[in-house]
Amino acid sequence: MKTIAELNAIRAASIKNVVLRKGADALGTDIKPDCKYNVLVCGGTGCTSSHSVKIVEKLREEIKANGLEKDVNVIMTGCFGLCALGPIMIVYPEGSFYSMMNEEKIPRIVREHLANGQVVKEFLYNETVNPDGTIKSLDETDFYKKQIRVALRNCGVINPEDINEYIAFDGYQALAKVLTEYTPEDVIKVITDSGLRGRGGGGFPTGRKWALCAPNKAPQKYVVCNADEGDPGAFMDRSVLEGDPHCVIEAMAIAGYAIGATKGYVYVRAEYPIAVHRLQVAINAAREAGLLGKNIFGTGFDFDIDVRLGAGAFVCGEETALMTSIEGNRGEPRPRPPYPAVKGLYESPTVENNVETFANVPQIILRGAEWFASMGTAKSKGTKVFALGGKIKHTGLVEIPMGTTLNEIIHEIGGGIPGGKKFKAAQTGGPSGGCIPASLIDTEVDYDNLISIGCMMGSGGLIVMDEDTCMVDMAKFFLEFTVDESCGKCTPCRVGTKRLLEILDKITRGEGTLDDLTRLEDLCNYIKSNSLCGLGQTAPNPVLSTLKFFRDEYVAHVTEKRCPAGVCKRLLSFSIDKDKCIGCGKCAKNCPNEAIQRTDYIAPGHKLPSYQIDSSKCIKCGACMDGCRFGAISKK
């Protein structure tokens, strides 16, 4: 592709394949679609693991059997967001949202919907069906109506392995614009004025980072995309790469033009095989189209990208450790300064941003800095993608304006806590973040508000906890992760986190003291102040935030030898209500340590003697309680 005219010609030719999905008006065209239906099937990791590939195969088989090949176009897309309902299939132009799909449902959908135009309502996501039987669009459902999709705009909409579909949705128009209309300084100003901050956790202003790198002279400069994403429960970047890899490629080329770089690397986890495959397909297609490589759009600008696979080290999410790994060395952070903008990859000036940060860039260029800055809060502009997980009805991906309250995210968008349980806390930022208690559920979620309460945005993982969660155990869980993932380069992180974990383990065993709580705080503050990199400096956050907001649980563990949530097994005691026990003996059969014996007591109305638990033999595994169908066994 040598000229912008050729790019526009491809867009015009490709729109007919995608017009059903957003409508001619939305795409600014009156071109008629080339088929009657577009059937989009989620091909993200979650739905793929639930056999969405087999659903696509069955669809094509049934479409052929019914002679509908010319009427129906089947597309494997990226993630739609509502992962709890997968596998997901959407049929356009109606936008019918079929959830929890399987191969058995396909023949009927093809026969009734695709052949005869009758939507199979009983297979639809129930929130898309009104009480009167009419169907409402996804945009009207609670999960989607407060979302504004910028980074995720094409996920679940296009075929990520077809560059022409990306081009049809204005793909590479931003790159064409900056190469032909903007100076590098103009590009940096637009990004700076937009207020875009790094979505990888630190929240450093993106335009400022680019501006620091641009003036530095060197034979070679680099643009690096951090797609390592190691936080437990986080899958935002993976989903962007799986659903819209070209937006990252385009943004990296724009960054390269802005700072004077000609080479880029995407550092992605090897355990993201779908993301790696689609990214490589996209890079190859962009090269073939002349959108990567030499003399892009005939402007004299050269830029190319390669993929580097990470082995799954959490520390390689830290930018200097990531660059060290790309160079072929063991992933360990470097002291700063010098910062990567001055001396980064291969000791050359380097800009590093994560996937979500880059995913915003093309839209900022096309729609303007003021458009992006109009969303969000005073210091946190735009939108943020969150991966909702834990004790919440609608697990999945959401993209919302900065400043949306935690209450809106959990109860309005996420559907609330299942089973009628009460919300207790939300963990943001993964192992580097902290817990937000129920008392602060109306906190507006942005960078500064979270930091002010001892938490952090992180990359966007949001784990919801209900009343059955032990906050001491939660802090211990994240410390176990950090200890395993510490690179070991600096003593505060390597040794300090282990000592923290030992104290937490002691407390959950019922062997802690009040002095241990003081030691925990002192050690946390030391590690924060003296660790080499940001990961070590933030490792104590889960402990400090739970100590701050849930100190009463720590005190109960050490003074009463009791776990209020009933989670820490060494502090539990199980008992059988002799009046509820029917004497079936299932608990005794399930007990691995023969700690349950029959008594002589027969409860009124029952025919068999009840059982009792010998606390001296009980290993507190909970097998007895799990097997009792009559609610006769309790724990405290």
Which residues have CB under 8 Å from 122's CB, separation 6+?
Answer: none
Structural domain 163-368, CATH architecture: 3-Layer(aba) Sandwich (3.40)
Q: What pLDDT was estimated at residue 19?
A: 85
* Mean confidence (pLDDT) of the chain: 93
pLDDT tens for each residue of 34-55:
889 999 999 999 999 999 999 9
Residue 377 to residues 380, 452, 453, Cα–Cα distance (Å): 5, 15, 17
Q: What pLDDT was estimated at residue 27?
A: 67
Residue 211 to residues 266, 357, 367, 383, 391, Cα–Cα distance (Å): 21, 16, 21, 22, 42
Q: Rounded to whole angstroms, how far apart are CA atoms 188 and 165?
A: 28
pLDDT tens for each residue of 283-300:
999 999 999 999 999 999
Q: For residue 514, with 0-12 CB atoms within 10 Å meaning exposed, 13-18 middle and 19 or more buried, which class applies?
A: exposed
For the chain, where do the domains classified as CATH 3.40.50.11540 start and end?
A: 163-368
For the chain, where do the domains classified as CATH 3.10.20.600 start and end?
A: 383-466
Token pair for residue 52? 């969405």
Q: What pLDDT was estimated at residue 107?
A: 96
Q: What is the pTM of this model?
A: 0.92
CATH class of the domain defined by 471-559: mainly alpha
Of 28-37, 450-459, 551-560, 592-601, the one with minimum mean pLDDT is 28-37
Q: Rounded to whole angstroms, how far apart are CA atoms 148 and 158?
A: 17
Q: Rounded to whole angstroms, how far apart are CA atoms 540 and 544?
A: 6
Q: What pLDDT was estimated at residue 393?
A: 94
Q: Is the pLDDT of residue 24 over 80?
A: no
Q: What pLDDT was estimated at residue 593?
A: 92
Q: Is the pLDDT of residue 159 over 80?
A: yes
Q: Is the pLDDT of residue 430 over 90?
A: no
Q: Is the pLDDT of residue 26 over 70?
A: no
Q: Is the pLDDT of residue 20 over 90?
A: no
pLDDT tens for each residue of 361-420:
999 999 999 999 999 999 999 999 999 999 999 999 999 999 999 999 999 999 999 999
Token pair for residue 342? 């001055």
Taken in order 464, 470, 471, 476, the sign of the CA dihedral is negative
Q: Rounded to whole angstroms, how far apart are CA atoms 269 and 267?
A: 7
Q: For residue 507, with 0-12 CB atoms within 10 Å meaning exposed, 13-18 middle and 19 or more buried, which class applies?
A: buried
**Which amino acid belongs to residue 427?**
Q
pLDDT tens for each residue of 118-156:
999 999 999 999 888 888 888 889 999 999 999 999 999
SS3 label, residue 266: strand
pLDDT tens for each residue of 455-477:
888 778 899 999 999 999 999 99
The CATH number assigned to the domain with range 35-137 reads: 3.40.30.10
Kindly give the pairing relationship between strand 396-401 and strand 383-390.
Answer: antiparallel
Q: What pLDDT was estimated at residue 542?
A: 92
For the chain, where do the domains classified as CATH 3.30.70.3270 start and end?
A: 572-635
SS3 label, residue 308: strand
Q: Rounded to whole angstroms, how far apart are CA atoms 73 and 70?
A: 8
pLDDT tens for each residue of 260-276:
999 999 999 998 999 99
The band of 433, judged by pLDDT with boundaries at 50, 70 and 90, is: confident
CA dihedral 446→452→457→462, nearest 10 degrees, is -100
Q: What does the radius of gyration of the chain's CA atoms come to, in whole angstroms? A: 27
SS3 label, residue 99: coil
SS3 label, residue 30: coil
Is residue 476 a contact partner of residue 521, using CB atoms and an 8 Å limit? no
Q: What pLDDT was estimated at residue 25?
A: 64
Q: Is the pLDDT of residue 77 over 80?
A: yes
Is residue 461 a contact partner of residue 434, using CB atoms and an 8 Å limit? no
pLDDT tens for each residue of 303-346:
999 999 998 888 888 899 999 999 999 999 999 899 999 999 99
% of the chain at pLDDT higher than 70: 99
Taken in order 61, 66, 69, 72, the sign of the CA dihedral is negative
For the chain, where do the domains classified as CATH 1.20.1440.230 start and end?
A: 471-559
Q: CATH number for the 383-466 domain, one of 3.10.20.600, 3.20.20.70, 3.40.50.20, 3.40.50.1240?
A: 3.10.20.600
Residue 376 to residues 197, 229, 354, 405, 440, Cα–Cα distance (Å): 12, 24, 20, 11, 19
CATH class of the domain defined by 572-635: alpha beta
- The beta strands (E) that lie in 172-283 are given as 222-227, 263-269
More confident residue, 117 or 454: 117
Q: What pLDDT was estimated at residue 472?
A: 96
Of 93-97, 229-233, 288-292, 407-411, the one with minimum mean pLDDT is 229-233
Q: What pLDDT was estimated at residue 508?
A: 94
The band of 17, judged by pLDDT with boundaries at 50, 70 and 90, is: confident
CA 435 to chain CA centroid, Å, is: 17
